[in-house]
Amino acid sequence: MKLLRRGAEAELYLSEEKGKKELLKRRVSKGYRCKELDEEIRSGRTGLEARLLNEAKKFGVRTPQVYGVDKEEKEISMEFVEGSRVKDVLNMGNFEGICERIGRDIAKMHSFDLIHGDLTTSNILLHNNKLFFIDFGLGTHSKKIEDKAVDLLVFRKTFEATHADLMPLGWEKIIEGYVAKMGSEGRKVVEHIAAIEKRARYH
């Protein structure tokens, strides 16, 4: 296997057998946690991420196909999606239609109370003009408008930092797609972002 990336939470490996590429995500141990707690957290997050990947797909959001889960080894084997990071696509100036589609896909997840937890344009791939959402390692379930608003707010901050030249038009298109798909609840979520920011200013 070839190591593709080593992050704070996991290592990504690429393997290829009989022409089929497969991605292995292995959650790494944290030395600062006691062993029992570390095992429980990594095992739980591994299982949850695999479920979220499958759920998002059922909700109409493209994600890598999960092939297997090994909670003992804290590993998920999944489809390797060939494609470009949306971060790179947008930085090359190709954002026509992409931003609105991103908003619609986030709305699909939020409509079913699925919170991605780490929305960035690095965690969205473009393959054959289709969007794929990856890395649900910090994801969860929540019915709360607050949690959905935080999901969007975190995304907006990373979007501003990564694509300053596309602001505010790019972000407006994302919100346009989000509200168009999610309706009145989507408007409530977007309005709640301002309330969160207001609280932050006074703390």
CA atoms within 13 A on the CB side of 188: 12
Amino acid present at 138: L
Catalytic residue among 105, 118, 135, 151: 118
Residue 151 has which token pair?
Answer: 């999901």
Helix (H) or strand (E) holding 134: none
DSSP 26-87: EEPP-TTS-HHHHHHHHHHHHHHHHHHHHHHHHTT---PPEEEEETTTTEEEEE----EEHH
Catalytic residue at 88? Answer: no
Count of other CB atoms within 10 angstroms of residue 196: 13
Q: Which residues are identified as catalytic?
A: 118
